[in-house]
Amino acid sequence: MLKKLFGKGKKEPVEMPEADGKDVLTAYANGEVVSLSEVPDPTFSEKMMGDGIAIKPSEGAIYAPVHAEVVQMSDSMKHAVGLKTVNGVELLIHIGLETVAMKGEGFKQLVKEGDKVAKGEKLIEFDLDLVNEKAESTITPMVITNADDAVASMDKHEGMDGIAGETVVLEITAK
């Protein structure tokens, strides 16, 4: 009885696939998939943090693009999440530009560091209108932060509308 009462809402453990050297990443938000060069911030557009893609979100939710472990989640800011795939590729998804100034306002984390997440699982909810009002942009980049060490090749799929958890946006072969 108590187990049923207190176990409610508990997340089922995610079965992680075996490392096979290939990560197929789907859209992490619903919206237009664009080149990183379209991000109006040189930190991302000039790939200072790493290569990747960006999405102009059409709704306020971020989803896991691949089975992964949550390795970074800022409790105070809530606007970014770091993931590590089973093949060792590290990803950073950063919601909007200059959202750090919002200090977490309008963001709700649904996972925490150490969680294992399945492709398509919702990670963060956010108020898209509030981000549009208070931040520089809603464009949401995803970069590979350890590409030099972990990525042998990468194929990007840009210039289309993405459906979270379904539309393939990156295919990565790990080193």
Averaged over 117-125, what is the pLDDT?
A: 97
Q: How confident is the model at residue 15 (pLDDT cuts 50, 70, 90)?
A: confident
**Domains (range + CATH), the chain:** 28-174 (2.70.70.10)
Averaged over 55-60, what is the pLDDT?
A: 98
Query: Tokens at residue 94, please?
Result: 């950063």
Averaged over 111-118, what is the pLDDT?
A: 96
Give the pLDDT confidence score for residue 158 in this predicted structure: 97
Q: In angstroms, rounded to a whole number, what is the distance separating the alpha carbons of residues 151 and 143?
A: 12
pLDDT tens digits for range 64-114: 999 999 999 877 778 999 999 999 999 999 999 999 899 999 999 999 999
Averaged over 18-31, what is the pLDDT?
A: 93
The answer, yes or no, to whether residue 127 has pLDDT greater than 70, is yes
CA torsion 48→50→56→59, rounded to 10°?
Answer: -120
Percent over 70 (pLDDT), the chain: 93
Give the pLDDT confidence score for residue 94 in this predicted structure: 96
| Average pLDDT for the chain | 92
Query: Tokens at residue 129, please?
Result: 């209108």
SS3 content of the chain, % helix, strand, coil (to 5): 15, 40, 45
Under DSSP, is residue 92 helix (H, G, I), strand (E, B) or coil?
Answer: strand
How do beta strands 168-174 and 116-117 pair? unpaired
Q: What is the pTM of this model?
A: 0.91
User: Known catalytic residues?
Assistant: 94
Give the pLDDT confidence score for residue 10 in this predicted structure: 54
Look at 7 and 166; give whichever has higher pLDDT: 166
pLDDT tens digits for range 134-145: 999 999 999 999
Judged on CB neighbours under 10 Å (0-12, 13-18, 19+), 92 is: buried
